[in-house]
Amino acid sequence: MTGVAGFDTIDLGPGADAPVLPAALRHGRASAHYEQRLARTVELLRQAAAEHAGTVVQASSLGVEDMVLSDLIHAQGLDIRVATLDTGALHLETLELIGRVRRHYGIDVEIWRPAHQAVLEFVGRNGPDAMYRSIPLRKACCAVRKLEPLGRMLDGRSAWITGLRREQSAQRVDVGEREVGADGRVKFNPLAQWSLGDVWHYVALHGVPYNPLHDRFYPSIGCEPCTRAVAVGEDQRAGRWWWELEGAKECGLHPEGRHAVGAKT
């Protein structure tokens, strides 16, 4: 069934009440500040490439925000590598997106994986469902599958780029556009000011490839056992570690031990 502006409606199968609109059509609404936000994002990406030539990487979660950044990096012809984590527990749709990104942009995507033996030992000690039993065990799983390979990804690099936005959750309202971690590494968050509508407006306007799970009400996508779809009115990150209290819903990739560089805008 054909939808608006070249997008198709999504038929969720016989159990669904009716086909649904793709995420770009549901959410794509440019804010009054969209053009200024876009210009600022391009400026930050150019700064990252110039100030950290050869030592900056986009650490992509392959979520829609990171797809926007990858598209802008490619459109601007910036010398910024794109890298992602394959935790060994990702959705098939996420893994397939890596190939689509390579074909669409003609770029190589770095893939960083956890140490195989460390994963085997963790699962052997704690079982495959350890993340559901306690927050410490869930964070230990994140440490093995995400933090350790991220550390290797960032080794020797002076800066990294993420798709964090202040609107995503209460834990991210103070995200700065440029932050410096305890290790002195600069983190650029060029979409910090963007709204969800801005993100999807850009996707629709530029035909950016994205994870089809977004069309199925997954605004935030992590490992398969730790991600579910959200209901209307729920927080954008409500589907991540949904069995935990709201304040615990971070994996440690973006620690609070940081300070913004310059004024928060």
The β-bridge partners of 180 are: 186, 259
Nearest to 206 by CA among 71, 42, 22, 8: 71
Longest CA–CA separation in the chain, Å: 53
Q: Determine whether 223 is an active site residue.
A: no
**Cβ(246)–Cβ(170) below 8 Å:** yes
Q: Which of 141, 142, 223, 251 is catalytic?
A: 251
- Edge-first strand listing for the sheet containing 159-161: 109-112, 81-85, 56-60, 159-161, 186-188, 178-181, 258-260
**How many C-beta atoms surround the C-beta of residue 130 within 10 A?**
17
C-alpha triplet 109, 114, 115: angle, nearest 5°: 130
- Tell me how far apart the alpha carbons of residues 146 and 139 are, in angstroms, rounded to a whole number: 10
| SS3 assignment, position 189 | coil
Q: Which residues are catalytic?
A: 251
